[in-house]
Structure 1
Amino acid sequence: MCGRFSLTEALNDLQEHYQFTMREDFQYTENNNIAPSQSVMAVVEVDHVRYPVQFRWGLIPPFAKDEKIGFKTFNARSETVDEKPSFKKAFHKKRCLIPASSFYEWKKISSKEKQPYSIKPASASLITFAGLWETWRNGDQLVRSCTILTTTPNDKMASIHDRMPVILDSSSYEKWLSEETPLDEVKSLLVPFPSSRMKLEEISSDFFKKST
C-alpha cells in the first residue's frame, strides 16, 4: 500500500532526471505530505516525448458514475491490474511515472498505536512509482486521475506492511512508458524494490499534524 508520500525536489532537477519537455501551463508545488484526492505530479510520454502533468490521486475509470471511487483506487495491485475493469485499459495504454522524495507507512505496534516510517532511497534523492492514469468526464467536468501500483514487500518493508509501491529504476522508464512495450515485459517490472537500496526512518506522528 502507498497512501502518503512527499515530493520536495526542485523542478529543474526533476526535468533533468526525467528528461521531459516543459509545458507552459504546468504548475508545480513541493509537498511533503501528499494524500489521496490531492494533486500529484506525473510524467507521461506522447509520441516519444515526455511531459510533466498534474493528476488527481485516486484513479477514476471512464465508466465511473461518481468521482468518489477515487478514494478506493489510489493504489492498484500489480497481480491483478491487467484484469480489473478499473485499471485494465490504463495498464495497456496509459502508464506514467510518479516522482517522490519519500513515502510513508505505519507499523502496527498495538491495537491503539502505530509507528510511522519515512522510506527513502539509500543513495539517491528520488523514488519513481509505477503509475496509471485515466480521464473521466461528467458533463462539462473533466478529471485526469492516477493510481500507484503496489506489489509484495521486500524484506525491510515486510516488517512494516504486507504491500509496497512498485518502484522503477531509471533504466526502466522508457519500457514502462512506451505503448510499444510487450505486456509481458511491462509485467516483469512489477517486482519489489531491493531492500539494500532503501532506508527506513522512524518519524513522529506530530509530523503529519504539522503538514496538514
Structure 2
Amino acid sequence: MSVADQPLAACAGLWRPSDEWGDCYTMVMVDATEELFHIHDRMPVILHAADHDRWLRAGAEEAMKLVAKYPADRLAVERTDIPWFSRKAPPAEAPGLFP
C-alpha cells in the first residue's frame, strides 16, 4: 500500500526512552477504512503533508485531532499472491483459561 497523493508518506507515531529496551517506538493505528478492511482490520494514521510538523509539535489534545482514517481513494494498493503473514491454528491440546 502506498499514498498516491504524496511522494513520501509519514505515519503518526510515538516514542519514549526505556531503561530496559532503549528507545521504544510505535505507530498510531485506527480501524481500517471499509475499502481496505479485506486487507487488515487496522491501518496506520497516515498524516497529510500539511500536518507533519503539526503532529511533531502539538500537545496531546491537538494531536488527537489528527488521528483519523486516511481517505481510501488516496491510497494505492498493489496486490500480490504472497500473503504477508500466515495464521496458525492453536494446538488441540492448548491450555484453556480455566481448569
TM-score > 0.5, shorter chain as reference: yes
* Corresponding residue pairs, total: 85
Distance in 2 (alpha carbons) for counterparts of 1:148 and 1:207: 18
* Residue correspondence of structure 1 range 1-212 to structure 2 within 5 A: 119-138=1-20, 143-178=22-57, 181-205=58-82
Matched-pair contact (CA < 8 Å) for 2:30–2:45: yes
The runs of 5 or more residues in structure 2 that have no matched partner are 86-99
TM-score, normalised to structure 2, is: 0.72
Distance in 1 (alpha carbons) for counterparts of 2:15 and 2:7: 24
Structure 1 moving runs of 4+ over 3 Å = none
Q: CA 1:198/1:183 → structure 2, altered by over 3 Å: closer, same or farther? A: same
Distance in 1 (alpha carbons) for counterparts of 2:84 and 2:37: 23
TM-score, normalised to structure 1, is: 0.36
- Per-residue Cα deviation, 1:161-184 (whole angstroms, up to 9, x for no partner): 211111001211122111xx3432
The runs of 5 or more residues in structure 1 that have no matched partner are 1-118
2:28 match: secondary structure? strand
1:202 match: secondary structure? coil
Greater strand share, structure number? 1
Compare relative contact order (CA 8 Å, sep 6+) and give the higher one, 1 or 2. 2
Q: Percent identity?
A: 28
Q: CA 1:158/1:176 → structure 2, altered by over 3 Å: closer, same or farther? A: same
